[in-house]
Structure 1
Amino acid sequence: MTATAEAPSTTRRGRTGKGSVPVSPWPQVNLLPPEVRASRAVRVVKRWLAVVVVIAIVIAAGVVAASVLAQRGADQELADAQVRTEQLNAEKEKYAEVPIVLAAIDDTTRARVLGTSTEVLWTPYLRAVAATTPEGVSIDTFSVSAPWPRPDLSMAQNPLAADSVGTISFTARSLTVPDSAAWLDGLVTVPGFSDPWLSGATWTEPTPEGMPGYYAVTGTVEVTEGAWAQRFVDETEEN
């Protein structure tokens, strides 16, 4: 019979009991080759590398997905904008003639303003000339000399008068010698008139047909810018 010696069982803290971790009292030696340990370390590194690669792939996939969604959104916005542009162009075609009509109206308005820039409403002035005549004087002829519409002034027919925009010439007859001074004073009071002038009264003999004799008088009066009607000036200012 062989006797076997048992080594006393000890714990990490030198005592036995429940919850104690047994520690071998004999020396331990790791007999694994270095290649095995290195292989295990490499496998751990590979695992972590695989985790990192998976995370990178997931992130890249998320970025690509976000880019694809953004591109789709941009494409949709572009398509909507193109459709809207086509709709606007179709609406524009409906009103293509509007700018042409507006330009024609504007040209017509400007032409009317230019054409009437030197317009004078002559009927009131004819009546004014007749109203200033002395008693017993009647107007035989009445003529007006005025330039075409332009900004410069015309030379008055009366060499002693200032430049004007037109000249009224008239002839009159009177059974008596007319009061020229009173007549001239009356013409000066008419707005838009200046520098009235009367020739001397010339006696005209009675005619065999029974027409009585009379004094013939010729005269002129200069028309100033104050006589212009300017009816359409406001339209130019509004444009």
Structure 2
Amino acid sequence: MSILTRPIGKPKVKAEASAPVDASTETAVAPVAKPAKVKTGPAPALALSPRANLLPPEIYDNRRKRSIRRNLRLLVFVVVIVVAAAVGGSWYLGFAAQNAVQDARNEVDQLNLELAKFSEISKTQSLIATGDAALQVGGSSDIDWAGYITQLQGTLPAGVTITSVTADSQGIEEAYTQSDTPLEGSRIGTLTFSAESQTAPSIPDWINSLSGLPGFVDAAPTSYSRDETTGAYTVELVMHIDKNAYSYKYAPKPKGDDQ
């Protein structure tokens, strides 16, 4: 039969009747052998198929540009946050400073109100201070004439009595007139007094006794007379004194004036 005349499809096979198997007949079954172990090793590397990038370069450029723009936007956002924080901090500090200044002004105003309540006391204290200053200035040239004359009387010999005294001293506004005589010392006052004695006086002894008075500079007699009726002797003396005669009752004694 040629290929052209061969019928299409599988040929039918006639089933053959198999002979019956006797159950009593023992058949020997051959043992099944175990398959041999196959050694496994690393799997062979798969061959990568070649690939071609068909995307245009513009797509990658756009992606890169989008990434740059995203980073720039993030940077701008961070800068805006920092600037806003700086502006807010400066505003807060300025506000706090203004509050502090206002609080200080309020405190000063409150203190002024409190001081106004004691304005009369302040005026009184100011007047007292002014009076003390004036007393010190005016009292800086004070001489206790009553006490000084008492000391003067005490230096004279027994039986000698002071009959008259004239005192002249330096003021606070102008210096005392000094003598032109070279041997006479510097002075701030002059004391002229008359003394009477029933006996002839020893004028040098009188002058020596006067040298113990505070502030004594020099002394000299200006007149000497005797009353023929009573027999009493009258002597007039001029004594100059310096700043050691000051009482320093109203002003402290300047340093360096102890001598």
In the superposition, the TM-score normalised over structure 1's length comes to 0.70
- Give the structure 2 partner of residue 6 of structure 1: none
| 1:152 is aligned to 2:202 | no
Partner of 1:88: 108
Could you say if the C-alpha distance between residues 158 and 174 of structure 1 is closer, same or farther in structure 2, counting changes exceeding 3 Å? farther
**8 A Cα contact 2:135 2:251, kept in partner:** no
Answer with 124-133 or 60-69: which moved more. Answer: 60-69
Note the residue ranges of structure 2 that are not aligned, 5 or more in a row: 1-41
Tell whether 2:245 aligns with 1:220: no
1:172-183 pair list within 5 angstroms = 172-183=195-206
Segments of structure 1 that go 5 or more residues without pairing to the other structure are 1-15, 207-211
Secondary structure at the aligned position of 1:201 is classed as strand
Whether 2:77 is the aligned partner of 1:38: answer: no
Change (3 A) 1:198 1:159: farther
Opposite residue 140 of structure 1, the aligned amino acid is T
Contact 1:142/1:169, CA 8 A, preserved across alignment? yes
Superposition deviation, residue 70 in structure 1: 3.4
Alignment equivalent of 1:168, drawn from 188, 191, 195: 191
Structure 1 counterpart of 2:96: 76
More helix by share: 1
Q: Which residue of 1 aligns with 2:139?
A: 116
After superposition, the Cα gap between the structure-2 partners of 1:198 and 1:38, relative to the gap in structure 1 and judged at 3 Å, is same
The 1:111–1:53 alpha-carbon spacing in structure 2 relative to 1, beyond 3 Å, is same
**Maintained 8 Å contact 1:153/1:163:** no
Quote the offset at 1:132 in angstroms. 2.2
Partner of 2:16: none
Letter in 2 for 1:162: G
Whole-angstrom CA distance in 1 between matches of 2:76 and 2:46: 43
Q: Which residue of 2 aligns with 1:23?
A: 48
C-alpha RMSD of matched pairs (Å): 3.6
- Aligned-residue identity in percent: 21
1:61 to 2:81 alignment: yes
SS in structure 1 of the partner of residue 185 of structure 2: coil
Distance, in Å, in 2 between the alignment partners of 1:44 and 1:228 is 105
Match in the other structure for 2:18: none
Change over 3 Å in CA distance of 1:166–1:139 after alignment to 2: same
Q: Which moved more, 1:181-190 or 1:63-72?
A: 63-72
Task: Determine whether 1:47 maps to 2:67.
Answer: yes
- Cα deviation for residue 63 of structure 1 reads 2.9
* Contact 1:156–1:166 (8 Å) recurs in 2: no
* Contact 2:186-2:217 within 8 A present in 1 as well: no
CA distance in 1, matches of 2:71, 2:112: 61
Conserved? CA contact 1:113–1:236, under 8 Å: no
Paired with 1:122 and 1:91, the residues of 2 have a C-alpha distance of 50
Q: 1:67 to 1:101 in 2, by over 3 A?
A: farther
2:31 corresponds to which residue? none
What SS does structure 1 have at the residue aligned with 2:135? Answer: helix
Matched residue type, 1:184:
I
